Amino acid sequence: MSTSRNISLIPMFNGEYYHIWAVKMRFYLKSQGLWNDVLTETDPPPLRANSTIAQIRTHEEDKLKKDKAITCLHSALADQIFTKIMNLETPKQMKDDESVKDYSGRLMDVVNQVRLLGEAFTDQKVVEKIMVSVPQKFEAKISAIEELCDLQNLTIAEITSKLHAQK
């Protein structure tokens, strides 16, 4: 009796036709149950006291999902592409020597690509992302913005302008 397994191969990105690869990769990650972990910024909540073995196992599996998604993404890159990004800690963080304008432009490029893929990515989510991803030197400014501004109505242009004024 022969059995056949349906093995899905990770779509490879070699530097060309990003828009096609991105759609294939999104569906690949969805098929592996990892797409939501790519989109979310948060880690699973901590375990409660007296957790069962099953709850502990589930919690450990949930913690590993982001690493599995990153591994899939790395595996999907041709070596010449991977070597260009392998030293980056995360594309989601502002570099210490990067200007607010450059960072917001880089972030908006990513946001626009996500939107082109059909994912909802609100301006409010972008504002939140900017606020949590700027370097330590902006901490006082971020605190002031959180206290003085209505974060639900703060626009991308306003947060960028307020942080740019930090210089």
* Whether residue 107 is found in the same domain as residue 160: yes
Give residue 36's domain range.
18-85
pLDDT at 71 over 60: yes
* Whether residue 109 is found in the same domain as residue 75: no
* Whether residue 79 is found in the same domain as residue 112: no
* pLDDT tens digits along 93-138: 677 778 888 888 888 887 777 777 667 778 888 888 888 888 888 8
Overall number of domains in the chain: 2
Kindly state whether residue 2 falls inside one of the protein's structural domains. Answer: no
Structure tokens at 63: 């913690």
pLDDT at 58 over 80: yes
Kindly indicate the confidence band of residue 7, based on its pLDDT and cuts at 50, 70 and 90: low
* Whether residue 78 is found in the same domain as residue 133: no
pTM of the model: 0.48
Segment 61-87 mean pLDDT: 82
Render 7-27 in DSSP notation, one character per residue: PPPPPPB-SS-HHHHHHHHHH
* pLDDT tens digits along 10-49: 999 888 888 899 899 999 999 999 888 887 767 778 888 8
The residue to which tokens 């036709």 are assigned: 17
Kindly state whether residue 3 falls inside one of the protein's structural domains. Answer: no
Structure tokens at 156: 């991308």
Domain boundary among 35, 55, 85: 85
